[in-house]
A and B are shown apart, each in its own frame.
Chain A
Amino acid sequence: MFRVALLSLFALIALSSSPTAFAQSDCKSVVKASPFGPNDQTGATNRVTAAVTKAAAAEIQTGKVTNMSYPLVDGVPLFGSRFTKTILTATSLAPGASFGENQLTYMEDTWLSQSHVGTHLDGMGHIGIKDCYYNQTAMGKFINQNNMTKLGLEHLKSFATRGVIIDMVKVFQDAGKLKSNAACKKPCLDKGTVITAADLQAGLKMYNVTLREGDMVFIHTGWGDLFEQFPAQNALYNSGEPGLGKEAASWLASQKVVGVGNDTWAVEVIPSENPKEAFPVHALLLTDNGIHIMENVRTDLIAAEAASTRRATFFVNMTVPKAVGMTGNFVAIDAIQ
């Protein structure tokens, strides 16, 4: 009897320690290895070296700062269950509630929000294939009910680098292929429009820019015009978008950029080129290449600035909170020229 029990125990241990018992994927066959080493959790911000930042600083010539963020407030486009709410604590303003002889008062907020709202950054832990995330990380081992224990935002380095704006509206206008959406008050690429590598290259050529390692690339599609009209066009804004096709995303990855952002909610073309694929550009950039994605970026102002000054490059002023174990967060971005 004891022998049977012992054998059963061994069998159970053997079963529970076999890979199939955990139903985990072999992430080495699912996700590419990181170019930054087997233990890397940082991704492409490894490319922002001191030399890269110093070179980017040369972009600051006039000191003009251009805003690249949308306001984060009730009513901006959010998907079904997403929310961002603030609660103001202002009890100190009540009569007699001020502090001291100098009658100091204070206010503060409680911010209840999901992280992927408004102008935001997708971190390394945002997107995976099966349970495999950036750098072949079998993510099932590194999550709890509050956060991730690997690939969190705390591992990111600086984004103090050169930014490049690529004006797709102008590219499509010049090529005579712009099909704007009637709801856009300014010209925009319509949803479902695929941006190719050739389109990106045409946009760079327009301002005589060559991408270099460590750049942040921002693409102006005009679709953000619908964001600006919130809440009137929220449903249309969320229903699809123009954006990168897979070939264009691969080309950007080959240029060793740090991040890619645009004035849409997913950066990539929706509906996808292949209707059976879900967010393939996200997987290509984030999961396979460690390249960040910035969504809902306000690009119209810097695109206009580039058009008037003939300068499509700038110094990126963007910081990301050291939010431990988080998959992404809202950010504020400025372009300094």
Chain B
Amino acid sequence: MIHAMRSIASLSRSRLVRGAIAAAVASFAVAVGAAAPERRYVVAFANATEEPGVSVEGTGFTGADIRESFILAARTLPIDLVFYDNRGDDARAIANAEAAIARKVDLYVQYHRGAAGNAGAAQKLKAAGIPVLAVNEAVPGAPLYGLDNAAAGRIAGDALAQFAVRTWAGQPTVAAVIGRVSTNSERVQGVAEALRKRLPNVRVSMLETQGNPAQAAPLLGPLLAAHPTSKLLIAATDDATALAVKAAVEAAGRARDTAIVGHGVDRSIHGGANDRKELDPTNRAGIVLGSVAFYLDRMGYQVLPLALRMLRGEAVPARTATPHKLITPANVFAEYPPYDMN
């Protein structure tokens, strides 16, 4: 009996030891697994254009600004980047996809204006089993991250309308959208919608600059002359045009009658602690009320986390929109901290 009990005890002890060893091995494996760094992924970014000085999305940003944002965003992610330049050309867009397939990238971020190029690239990437994430332009079968031009326009229009209601209530007021009006129809529509929501009777003129801010003064001249006693609400489709409008109304002696909102928030309109620009905390009484942020210089910070989720097998929304926001002298340093003050 005692022998039997000893055997049982001995058996129990040996099971206990074996169990303890197994548990230790298991916990070591878990610990090793937890400590093992996540694998790195190769993500291709095919940019719309890398041509110096060529702006994108009707703003003051260039393709280089967008590429740079991907480089900065990747610093803290397990991602190695490969870059391609679609050069605004469908054939090039397809050739770039083929090059990325040959390189066996893990995911392809496509930024290209051209339905044929996007369809061709998507077809080849799908056949190769490479997931695609589209930027600013739909790609068949791919989730899309992009600007919400209509929402951005509404933010601009609402800021102008609120200012007019608050400051010029009861006074004759006219409005205009100026800039690349014909190629930014959603943005323009958004501005007009928001203006009319708060100011139902306001007349909204469309002034097409063809992307040349120097056209602001000659285009505004007739409007100013036709409304010598009216207040003017002006939405510019980009920041350079907003600044040109400011110069034009100042030259015409109508600055006190004018409120302006731009789109983009590129470096032409905001700067650092020493490099003071129009949107600056010390310039709160300016006639440029603000500009709607497009964050194209931060696009990588939005897109790469989405790409990483796709690579980890997580679901991502079919459509993710840029969180546009009105940037004013009051919040510009919170949103774009200056780093020239140290």
Contact = CB atoms under 8 A, between A and B. Distances in A.
Interface of A: 79-82, 116, 192-194, 238, 240, 245, 265-266, 270-273, 275-279, 282, 295
Interface in B310-342: 333-342
A279 B339 contact: yes
B38 interface: no
A276 B274 contact: no
B338 A238 contact: no
Contacts of B301: 275
Given A79-B274, A80-B274, A80-B275, A279 B72 contact: no
A245 B72 CA distance: 13
B71 interface: yes
B39 interface: no
A82 B301 CA distance: 32
Given A79-B274, A80-B275, A81-B274, A275 B72 contact: yes
B337 A79 contact: no
Contacts of A265: 342
Contacts of B275: 80
Contacts of B273: 79-80
B340 A238 contact: yes
Contacts of A273: 75-76
B71 A194 contact: no
B298 A275 contact: yes
B76 A271 contact: no
Interface string B158-192: 00000000000000000000000000000000000
Contacts of B336: 275
Interface in B258-289: 272-275
Contacts of A270: 339
A278 B274 contact: no
The 7 nearest A-B residue pairs measured at CB = A80-B274, A278-B337, A266-B342, A194-B75, A81-B274, A79-B340, A270-B339
Contacts of B274: 79-82
Given A194-B76, A275-B298, A276-B335, A79 B342 contact: yes
State which size class the interface on B falls in: 20 to 34
Given A194-B76, A275-B298, A80 B340 contact: yes
Contacts of A79: 273-274, 340-342
A193 B71 CA distance: 10
A33 to B, nearest CB: 26
18 contacts: A79-B273, A79-B340, A79-B342, A80-B272, A80-B273, A80-B275, A81-B274, A82-B274, A192-B75, A194-B76, A245-B76, A266-B342, A271-B339, A275-B298, A275-B336, A276-B337, A278-B337, A282-B342
Nearest to B333: A278
B330 to A, nearest CB: 15
A272 B336 CA distance: 11
A278 B338 contact: yes
Nearest to A293: B342
A18 B333 CA distance: 29
Nearest to B340: A79
Given A79-B341, A80-B273, A295-B342, 4 more contacts: A271-B72, A275-B72, A278-B338, A279-B342
A273 B339 CA distance: 13
Contacts of A272: 337, 339
A165 B174 CA distance: 65
B115 to A, nearest CB: 33
Contacts of B71: 192
A238 B338 CA distance: 12
Nearest to B272: A80
Nearest to B69: A275
Nearest to A196: B76
A67 to B, nearest CB: 23
For B71, B72, B274, B342, the residue with the greatest tally of chain A CB atoms inside 10 Å of its CB is B342
Contacts of A275: 72, 298, 301, 336-337
Contacts of A278: 333, 337-339
A327 to B, nearest CB: 12
Nearest to A238: B340
